[in-house]
């Protein structure tokens, strides 16, 4: 049987998936951390609970479905690292064929409970996302990473797997990830730090004593956020490792350049000010900084020339 060369390339890329020990450490940290805080995350995290943010996400998903240009029931979507279903539920309500994959069984249980209450039938898999996407049978029209990239120790190989999991013409959407803090003004960085502690105090009060205890343990054990891969995984370090890129952010310009080299066309690359509180967001907007980014990328059809937008 003759094998399509494009398909053969996809199979080779998937079979080459060999995550490093560092990648596996961070993946396990996510599993352990969200076994502790799944319910708290679902009840308080801004990207899940803020009405303004939710409204924008709904609009983005409608645009993306319009770009795909097919009936929703004919669109197969993957909510990668989908957690408690912030994106998956919205896609299910729109009639798409949706699979949610997450490493946390606690977050998946929350998602299934929401689906039962809403009367929709979920497809969900408890798995590390790279391992899941490395299987040759995984093919999707749309893959979404929502508040997920900053949890991955090495982002580019995972998004390369996503490229090979997309059908020709398929779309990859990423949202709710931080831009590089090195590019932010000092005032913005100070505001972000103050906002974090205010948010913990008023919106995650139940976790505040545990958060303080974890930080004290890390200080006395000599663990540094800038050398976090040297830390042993423990209850005190799981959150720091799970939120792997939060302290320094992600260089989204460099990431986009790498993803163009993988083969993606860039439909949109948007940078914007985002914060947990509206007042902080407005101040950062006035300062002129962008603290978050989102991407919509397309896998070209066979024979197409790439025509990425700048």
Q: Residue 62 domain-assigned?
A: yes
- Structural domain harbouring 126: 5-182+245-276+290-298
Q: Does residue 307 register a pLDDT over 80? A: no
For residues 83-110, average pLDDT:
97
Q: What is the pTM of this model?
A: 0.91
Of residues 286 and 218, more confidence is placed in 286
Q: Residue 75 domain-assigned?
A: yes
For the chain, what is the mean pLDDT?
A: 91
CA–CA distance, 270 with 290 (Å, rounded to integer): 9
Specify the CATH number for the domain of residue 68: 3.40.50.150
Residue 1 has a CB neighbour count (10 Å cut-off) of 2
Contact 146, 54 (CB under 8 A): no
Of the pLDDT bands very low, low, confident and very high (cuts 50, 70, 90), residue 310 is: very low
Residue 114: per-residue pLDDT:
96
Domain count, the chain: 1
Q: How far is CA 47 from CA 41, 94, 159, in A?
A: 10, 19, 21
Residue 7: per-residue pLDDT:
58
Of residues 197 and 75, more confidence is placed in 75
Of residues 33 and 11, more confidence is placed in 33
Q: Does residue 306 register a pLDDT over 60? A: no
Q: Residue 215 domain-assigned?
A: no
Q: Residue 37 domain-assigned?
A: yes
CA–CA distance, 279 with 276 (Å, rounded to integer): 9
pLDDT digits (tens, 9 = 90+) for 254-267: 999 999 999 999 99
Q: Residue 303 domain-assigned?
A: no
Residue 2: per-residue pLDDT:
44
Contact 196, 209 (CB under 8 A): no
Q: Which of 7-16, 54-63, 102-111, 145-154 has the lowest mean pLDDT?
A: 7-16
Residue 3: per-residue pLDDT:
43
Q: Does residue 210 register a pLDDT over 60? A: yes
Of the pLDDT bands very low, low, confident and very high (cuts 50, 70, 90), residue 1 is: very low
State the DSSP code for 176: E
Q: Residue 211 domain-assigned?
A: no
Q: Residue 198 domain-assigned?
A: no
């Amino acid at each position: 049987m003759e094998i399509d060369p494009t398909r053969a390339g996809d199979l080779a890329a998937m079979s080459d998936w060999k995550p490093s020990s560092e990648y596996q450490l961070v993946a396990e940290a996510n599993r352990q951390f969200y076994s502790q805080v799944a319910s708290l995350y679902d009840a308080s995290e801004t990207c899940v609970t803020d009405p303004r943010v939710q409204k924008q996400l709904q609009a983005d998903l409608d645009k993306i479905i319009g770009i795909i240009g097919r009936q929703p029931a004919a669109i197969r979507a993957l909510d990668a690292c989908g957690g408690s279903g912030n994106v998956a539920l919205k896609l299910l309500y729109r009639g798409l064929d949706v699979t949610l994959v997450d490493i946390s069984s606690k977050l998946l249980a929350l998602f299934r409970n929401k689906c039962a209450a809403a009367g929709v039938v979920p497809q969900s898999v408890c798995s590390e996302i790279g391992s899941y996407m490395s299987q040759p049978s995984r093919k999707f029209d749309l893959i979404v990473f929502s508040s997920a990239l900053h949890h991955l120790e090495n982002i580019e190989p995972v998004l390369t797997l996503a490229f090979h999991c997309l059908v020709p013409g398929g779309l990859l959407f990423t949202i709710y990830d931080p831009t590089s803090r090195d590019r932010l003004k000092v005032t913005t960085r100070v505001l972000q730090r103050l906002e974090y502690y205010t948010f913990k105090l008023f919106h995650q009060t139940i976790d505040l004593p545990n958060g303080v205890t974890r930080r004290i343990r890390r200080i006395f054990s000599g663990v540094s956020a800038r050398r976090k891969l040297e830390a042993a995984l423990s209850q005190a370090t799981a959150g720091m490792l799970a939120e792997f890129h939060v302290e320094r952010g992600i260089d989204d310009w460099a990431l986009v350049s790498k993803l163009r080299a993988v083969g993606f066309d860039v439909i949109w690359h948007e940078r914007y000010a985002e914060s947990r509180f509206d007042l902080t967001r407005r101040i950062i907007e006035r300062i002129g900084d962008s603290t978050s980014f989102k991407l919509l990328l397309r896998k070209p059809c066979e024979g197409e020339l790439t025509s990425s937008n700048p």
